[in-house]
Structure 1
Amino acid sequence: MKHLFLLRHAKSSWEDPTLADDERPLSAHGKTQAAAIAAGLQHRSVFAGTVYASPAVRAQQTLAELSHALPGLALKSRAHSEPALYNFDANAIIRWLVHEKPSAERITLVGHNPALKQLAQQLAPKAAAKLPTLGMLHLALPIDRWEDVEKLKTGAELIDSLTPIDASYALFKHNIPPQPTLKKTLKSKKLPKRLPTMLQHRYGLVRELEPGVIVGEDAEFLHQYRVNLRRSRAVAEAVRAIIKMPKLKKALTRIKKHAQATSELRDLDVFLLDISDTPDLPHLGAPLRQWLRDAARQRHQALCETLASDAYQDDMQRWQTLIASKAFARALNTLKPKQIARVLEARIAHHDEQLAELSTDSPSEALHELRKSVKRIRYLAELMPEQHSDVLKRLKPRQKLLGDFQDRTVQLAWLDAFEHEHPLHDAAKAELHAWRQTLMGRQQHRREQVCQLAPLAP
């Protein structure tokens, strides 16, 4: 078995028309791509074997940028510049492999389209139809010698792929429609027309975020996927609290299930980020981080399996069909601002009752319930943000405060689970106890701040 990694060069510049094609350098965006995808390529062992690269300036600069981002690999110094890779014909690369007969089990080719894309599709017809700049394809070839690739034809298997946009939320965000355009569109529409537009926009974002969630290189994909899924559900639940509509309850149950499936993974990402900012754990830090990473890896795998399942695809298709249906539009036409105001007033009153019952000894569950009531108020107020801007302004810091309290509560639970599963020596136990006391102190401080909050009702 041989492993072939195809890596297209990063985005090049066309600013200087006097340069020959092989002299064109990387653009600023190409350098950004390299920085964004480098860690993901390393995680996939793309550079574990022998690396060959086109001598074109853009290919060599791609290697230089990746080498700079991955200093431990000495990538630029050990890569081989191969003139045969500066071409745009897949068959030329095959002839080079047959003639060159590389000895390594794994080789990486840094080159150009359309040659790399055509090569992938010749060897593995199910390979991605597109190979964007700095995109990677990993093929497994059922051959013992590289010279046998000429006889292989379509027997290779696509093992993995990666693109800068799927590895970096910042690059992904750069490619989605700007939010100001959406906000302007929403403001120009009346409420019954605004809600379907908002829900369909969020549905589209959820589907576009899924590849980044599956890749798992940037936790922000999961966070944004979760936010858009939960807000879609919250908006629809706010509508359902006011008007009745067949099929909406069942659809919401499915959306809620998929949103909840992300909760533990998100909590683990937050905890790992917090621990990375805590250097005073010389005995506990390494085993705790590894345990949390293993737990996150298991939950990420389970989430990926869910996203790939027919059941998930069916649920999302049903949701899209519902929010785009005429029945949903007709139901929304009965929605009146006064109805929203009445339900909002009732929810604010309930929140204030919950707040009045809190004390510095209140259990964590009471603050969790208060947090959920704040979110319900916020999502309802966001149906008509112009009319309820004051409420929304006051809710934001309140929700952040309660969210921080909830994070500490969950992290304490993770520490308890870790201690239960791991026998620790005295030094590690002492650090665990100190870290737990730190979290409990932060949790109690947030509890006291919550108790000092003023009622929402004027």
Structure 2
Amino acid sequence: MKHLFLLRHAKSSWEDPTLADNERPLSPLGETQAAAIAAGLQHRSVFAGTVYASPAVRTQQTLAELSRALPGLALKSRAHNAPALYNVEANAIMRWLVHENPSAERITLVGHNPALEQLAQQLAPKATTKLPTLGMLHLTLPIERWEEVETLKTGGELIDRLTPLDASYALFKRKRSSSPKLKKALKNKSLPKRLQTILQHRYSLVRSLEPGVIAGEDPEFLHQYRVNLRRSRAVAEAVRAVIKVPKLKKALKRIKKRAQATSELRDLDVFLLEVSDTPDLPNLGVPLRQWLRDAAHQRHQTLCEELANEAYQDDMQRWQTLIDSKAFARALATLTPKQIERVLKARIAQHDALLAELTPDSPSEALHELRKSVKRIRYLAELMPEQHSGFLKRLKPRQTLLGNFQDRTVQLAWLDAFARETPLPDTAKAELHTWRQTLIGRQQHQREQVCQLAPLAP
């Protein structure tokens, strides 16, 4: 079995029309792409084998930028110059591979389209093989020697791919910024039309975030994916609290399930950041961070399997069909501001009743229920943000406080699980006990702050 990595050069510049094609340099965006994707390529062992690169300036500069981002690999000096890769035909590259017949089990070709895309299509015809600038495709080939590649008609498999847009949320966001803005799409629309547009926009965003979630290089993809799923559910639940909408209850259960699948991974990411920012853990920090990374990796794999599952695709398709349907639009058309205000008032009264029952000794579950009530209130108020802008500002610090308390609850549970599963020396055990007591103290302080909150109702 051989491993073939196909890596297209980064984005090049067309500023100087007098330059020959092979002399064109990278653009500033190309340099940014290299910095964004370098770590992801290293994680996937793209440069673990023999590297061959086209002599074109943009390809050599791509290697230089990647080498700068990955100084330990000496990538620029290791790469072999391969003029055959400055080519537009896949067959020419195949003939070169046959002639070259490298001894390495893994090779990486840094070159150009359309040749690299065509090569991937020929070797793994069942795979989707689009290759944007600085995109990577990882193929496995059932051959013993590279000279057999020319006679390989089928059997190659695409097992991984990565693009700069999937590795970096900042680049993804930059690309999305050229799309129509939600605010502009909502301008001058009635309440029913606005709600349907919001749900359709969030659906589109969730689907476009999925490759970044699967790549797992930038945790912001998971955060935004989770936020948009939860906000979609929040808008729909708020609507359902006010009016009857056919098939919405069942669809909401599916969306809730998909959002819940991200919960533990998000909690682990947050806790890992906090542990990394805590300096006073000389003996505990390393094993705890590794344990959290392992737990996050396991849950990320599970999430990726779910996203690739046919049931997930069916659920998301049903959700899109519902929010695009005329029946949904007709149901929304019956929604009035008075109905929303009536339900909002009832939810505020319920929240204030829960708050009045709290004491500094109340169990964590009681504060968790209060947090959920605040979220439901916010979701309703956000159906008409202009009318409730002041109220929403007042609600935000309350939700943040309750969210921080919940984070502490979850983090203490993770620490207990870590202590049960990990043998520790006495010095690390002492640090764990001290830090755990610190977190409990902070949590108790937050509990007392919650008990001192004023009612929401005027």
TM-score scaled by length of structure 2: 0.97
Inter-partner Cα distance in structure 1 for 2:69 and 2:399: 37
* Aligned-residue offset at 1:294: 1.5
Alignment of 1:58-457 (within 5 A): 58-177=58-177, 181-457=181-457
TM-superposition CA deviations, 1:51-70 (whole Å, max 9, x none): 11111111111111111111
RMSD over aligned Cα, in angstroms?
1.4
Inter-partner Cα distance in structure 2 for 1:64 and 1:454: 59
TM-superposition CA deviations, 1:157-200 (whole Å, max 9, x none): 11111111111111111122568821132131001111111101
Inter-partner Cα distance in structure 1 for 2:415 and 2:202: 35
TM-score scaled by length of structure 1: 0.97
TM-superposition CA deviations, 1:94-145 (whole Å, max 9, x none): 1111111211111101101011111111111123341000000011111111
Give ranges in structure 2 of 5+ residues lacking alignment. none
Inter-partner Cα distance in structure 1 for 2:444 and 2:153: 65
Q: Alignment partner of 1:241: what SS? A: helix
Contact 2:162 2:215 (8 Å CA) reproduced:
yes
* Aligned-residue offset at 1:457: 2.0
Inter-partner Cα distance in structure 2 for 1:48 and 1:441: 47
Q: Would you say 1:40 and 2:36 are equivalent positions?
A: no
Inter-partner Cα distance in structure 2 for 1:312 and 1:222: 16
With 74-83 and 250-259 compared, the bigger mean Cα shift is at: 74-83
Q: Alignment partner of 1:246: what SS? A: coil
Q: Which residue pairs with 2:13 in the alignment?
A: 13
* Aligned-residue offset at 1:208: 0.9
Inter-partner Cα distance in structure 2 for 1:177 and 1:56: 31
Matched AA of 1:191: L
Inter-partner Cα distance in structure 1 for 2:243 and 2:221: 33
Inter-partner Cα distance in structure 1 for 2:61 and 2:358: 60
Contact 2:120 2:129 (8 Å CA) reproduced:
no
Matched AA of 1:216: G
Contact 2:129 2:137 (8 Å CA) reproduced:
no
Matched AA of 1:264: E
Inter-partner Cα distance in structure 2 for 1:18 and 1:179: 33
With 109-118 and 292-301 compared, the bigger mean Cα shift is at: 292-301
Inter-partner Cα distance in structure 2 for 1:253 and 1:389: 29
Percent identity, aligned pairs only?
A: 84
Q: Which residue pairs with 1:57 in the alignment?
A: 57
Inter-partner Cα distance in structure 1 for 2:64 and 2:442: 44
TM-superposition CA deviations, 1:187-218 (whole Å, max 9, x none): 31001111111101111111111111111111
Q: Alignment partner of 1:171: what SS? A: helix
Inter-partner Cα distance in structure 2 for 1:311 and 1:457: 43
Give ranges in structure 1 of 5+ residues lacking alignment. none
Inter-partner Cα distance in structure 1 for 2:396 and 2:382: 12
* Aligned-residue offset at 1:12: 0.7
How many residues of Structure 1 are paired with residues of Structure 2 in the alignment? 458
Matched AA of 1:392: L
* Aligned-residue offset at 1:448: 2.6
Q: Alignment partner of 2:6: what SS? A: strand
* Aligned-residue offset at 1:279: 2.7
* Aligned-residue offset at 1:307: 1.1
Inter-partner Cα distance in structure 1 for 2:86 and 2:54: 5
* Aligned-residue offset at 1:83: 1.6
Matched AA of 2:203: Y
Matched AA of 2:6: L
Matched AA of 2:154: T
Q: Alignment partner of 2:242: what SS? A: coil
* Aligned-residue offset at 1:40: 0.8
* Aligned-residue offset at 1:323: 1.1
* Aligned-residue offset at 1:442: 2.3
Inter-partner Cα distance in structure 1 for 2:25 and 2:290: 40
